[in-house]
Structure 1
Amino acid sequence: MTDAVANEADSPQLRFASLLDQHRGIVLKVAHGYCRDPEDRRDLLQDISVQAWRAFPAFEPSRSRFSTWLYRIALNVAISQVRRVHLRQQHHDSLDDEAIAALPDPVAREPGETDAGIRALYAVIDRLDPLNRALMLLYLDERSQREIAEILGITESNVATKLHRLRQRIREELAPPATPRTP
Structure 2
Amino acid sequence: MLDENQKSLFMTWLGEHGSSVMKVARAYTLNSEESQDLAQEILLQAWRSLPNFEGKAAPATWFYRVALHTAMNWHRKDKPRRSRQQSLVEVEAVATEGFDSAEQVQQRDIVEQLYKAIHQLPKTDAALVLLYLDELSYREMSEVLGISESNVGVKLNRAKKALSELMKGPSHVP
- 2:92 aligned partner, one-letter code: P
Which structure's CA Rg is the greater one?
A: 1
The runs of 5 or more residues in structure 1 that have no matched partner are: 1-6, 178-183
Task: State the identity %.
Answer: 35
Shift of 1:176: 6.9
Say whether 1:59 aligns with 2:57: no
Over residues 92-133 of structure 1, what are the superposed CA-to-partner deviations in whole Å (9 max), with x where a residue is unaligned? 48x8xxx6872437xx9xx64332222211110011121111
Structure ranking higher in helix proportion: 2
Q: Report what 1:134 is aligned to.
A: 127
Q: Report what 2:158 is aligned to.
A: 165
Q: How many residues align?
A: 160
RMSD: 2.8
- 1:47 aligned partner, one-letter code: E
Q: How does 1:29-108 map to 2 (within 5 A)?
A: 29-61=23-55, 63-86=56-79, 88=80, 92=83, 102-104=90-92
Separation in structure 2 between the aligned mates of residue 78 and residue 176 of structure 1, nearest angstrom: 26
Over residues 66-106 of structure 1, what are the superposed CA-to-partner deviations in whole Å (9 max), with x where a residue is unaligned? 010010000000000011013x45x948x8xxx6872437x
The runs of 5 or more residues in structure 2 that have no matched partner are: none
Say whether 1:12 aligns with 2:6: yes
Say whether 1:154 aligns with 2:147: yes
The two structures have a TM-score, normalised by structure 1, of: 0.76
Out of 20, 24, 34, which is 2:18 matched to?
Answer: 24
Range that drifts further, 47-56 or 117-126: 117-126
The two structures have a TM-score, normalised by structure 2, of: 0.80
